[in-house]
């Protein structure tokens, strides 16, 4: 991945998210809440589990130098 390209965190759990994840290059992250199986055919990193609320997500974004977050979670997800 180009060192100057912004890192992407894709919040998934839907079919649309999986289609997007399949286009992500190494260095980007596909995050799943933990339900279902983890796809084996992705070039990007896969992260499973929560972040620990807003403070945990903010810390993760800073620590991992994530510049863009794409929320492709289910539109009726409660959390």
Looking at the structure of the chain, the number of domains it has is 1
Determine the structural domain holding residue 58 and report its residue range: 8-16+52-74
Task: Give 33's pLDDT tier (boundaries 50, 70, 90).
Answer: confident
Strand, coil or helix: 2: coil
| pLDDT tens-digit readout, 44-57 | 999 999 999 999 99
Is the residue at 68 inside a domain?
yes
Is the residue at 2 inside a domain?
no
**Has residue 2 got a pLDDT over 60?**
no
Task: Give 76's pLDDT tier (boundaries 50, 70, 90).
Answer: confident
Backbone angles phi, psi at 54, to 5 degrees: -60, -40
Partners of 18 in beta bridges: none
């Amino acid at each position: 991945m180009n060192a100057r390209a912004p890192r992407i965190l894709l919040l998934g759990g839907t079919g649309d998210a999986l289609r997007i994840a399949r286009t992500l290059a190494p260095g980007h992250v596909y995050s799943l809440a933990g339900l279902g199986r983890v796809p084996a055919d992705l070039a990007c990193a896969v992260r499973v589990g929560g972040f620990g609320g807003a403070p945990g997500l903010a810390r993760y974004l800073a620590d991992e130098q994530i510049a863009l977050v794409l929320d492709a979670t289910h539109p009726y997800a409660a959390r």
